[in-house]
């Protein structure tokens, strides 16, 4: 297939009033091809772009996005994940996790698989010093994580898009679980012989800390800034509430994913629902 730039150049020459022979002489493209492109016009360019889109992508295709798993994966990505670009504009989602917590590693894989249920996502793992990198390749990771950009996250603005905000506000506990699994901890504070469990979230990015705090607000728990880069949740009712959805890292998920229900056929993409302000419903 000839590149879009050639197609666009021919369209420009057609609009300038040149005939097929003149355009062919100018561009070196056969006259019959010019004739076909003249017939297709802008429609042909749109069709080319459409063919390049991936129907399994929830953003530029028509796939449904499972917000329950997405909120969790977003938390892992913001905490300790990144995208790396490889050849042919394929991106690798890389999530770095502690080797000590196999339950989190397997939950991370589950979340990645849920992003593209129509295809089997090849998920690999590479051992690093003290941690494991869980990774999967896909051209459309930047669609799902538009925060991708050059440089470390704490040195640039990290803002959620409107559709991500919608998911974060509906599933703050899932976002919190992902954030705590990557950059948080649950530890015991002993005061006068009594154990008080606490949660701590540590991240250098003020934007990501703010996302964590907003998720706490949405989930209805109080937080406080304990150090310049740390947020703590220490009140026992708040810790108890967080325990219901996060729990110690060595324990399996306290709740299982609800059955994902596809919404109305006239809105095939979950994101269209979010854009329209209508959230996905679970049974
Ligand atoms: Zn896409």
Question: How far is 231 from 65, CA to CA, in rounded Å?
Answer: 30
Whether the CB-CB separation of 265 and 272 falls below 8 Å is answered with no
Same domain, yes or no: 139 and 178 = yes
Range of the domain at 43: 4-52
Q: Would 59 be classed as within a structural domain? A: no
Give the three-state DSSP class for 50. helix
CA of 172 relative to ligand 1 center, distance in Å:
24
Whether the CB-CB separation of 91 and 137 falls below 8 Å is answered with yes
- The structural domain count of the chain equals 2
110-134 as b/e, with b when 16 or more CB fall inside 10 Å?
ebbebbbeeeebeeeeeeeeebbbb
Q: Would 61 be classed as within a structural domain? A: no
Whether the CB-CB separation of 171 and 270 falls below 8 Å is answered with no
Considering the entire predicted model, what is its pTM? 0.75
CA of 195 relative to ligand 1 center, distance in Å:
48
CA of 140 relative to ligand 1 center, distance in Å:
4
CA of 160 relative to ligand 1 center, distance in Å:
17
Is residue 196 predicted with pLDDT exceeding 70?
A: yes
CA of 239 relative to ligand 1 center, distance in Å:
38
pLDDT digits (tens, 9 = 90+) for 138-156: 999 999 999 998 888 888 9
Number of H helices, E strands in the chain: 12, 8
SS3 per-residue string spanning 22-37: HHHHHHCCCHHHHHHH
Same domain, yes or no: 144 and 244 = yes
Same domain, yes or no: 11 and 75 = no
Same domain, yes or no: 30 and 83 = no
**From the centroid of its chain, how far is CA 105?**
17
Question: How far is 196 from 189, CA to CA, in rounded Å?
Answer: 5
pLDDT grade for 47, boundaries at 50, 70 and 90: confident
**Nearest CA to 197 among 181, 215, 185, 180?**
185
pLDDT grade for 50, boundaries at 50, 70 and 90: low
Q: Would 58 be classed as within a structural domain? A: no
CA of 220 relative to ligand 1 center, distance in Å:
33
CA of 270 relative to ligand 1 center, distance in Å:
13
CA of 148 relative to ligand 1 center, distance in Å:
14
Is residue 264 predicted with pLDDT exceeding 70?
A: no
Same domain, yes or no: 85 and 145 = yes
């Amino acid at each position: 297939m000839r590149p879009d730039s050639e197609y666009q150049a021919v369209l420009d020459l057609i609009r300038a009033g040149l005939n097929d022979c003149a355009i062919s002489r100018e561009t070196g493209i056969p006259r019959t091809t010019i004739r076909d492109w003249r017939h297709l016009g802008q429609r042909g360019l749109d069709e080319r772009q459409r063919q390049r889109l991936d129907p399994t992508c929830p953003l530029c295709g028509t796939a449904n996005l499972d917000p329950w798993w997405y909120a969790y994966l977003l938390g892992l990505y913001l905490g300790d994940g990144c995208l790396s670009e490889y050849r042919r504009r394929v991106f690798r989602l890389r999530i770095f996790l502690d080797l000590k917590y196999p339950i989190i590693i397997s939950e991370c894989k589950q979340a990645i698989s849920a992003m593209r249920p129509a295809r089997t996502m090849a998920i690999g793992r590479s051992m690093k010093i003290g941690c494991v990198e869980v990774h999967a390749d896909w051209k459309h990771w930047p669609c799902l994580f538009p925060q991708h950009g050059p440089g470390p996250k704490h040195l640039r603005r990290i803002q959620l898009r409107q559709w991500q905000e919608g998911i974060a506000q509906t599933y703050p506990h899932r976002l919190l679980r992902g954030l705590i699994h990557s950059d948080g901890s649950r530890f015991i504070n002993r005061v006068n012989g009594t154990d008080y469990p606490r949660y701590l979230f540590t991240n250098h990015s003020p934007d990501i800390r703010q996302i964590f705090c907003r998720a706490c607000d949405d989930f209805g728990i109080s937080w406080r800034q304990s150090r310049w880069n740390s947020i703590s949740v220490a009140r026992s009712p708040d810790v108890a509430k967080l325990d219901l959805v996060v729990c110690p890292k060595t324990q399996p998920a306290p709740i299982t994913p609800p059955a994902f229900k596809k919404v109305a056929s006239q809105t095939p993409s979950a994101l269209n629902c979010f854009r329209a302000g209508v959230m996905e419903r679970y049974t």
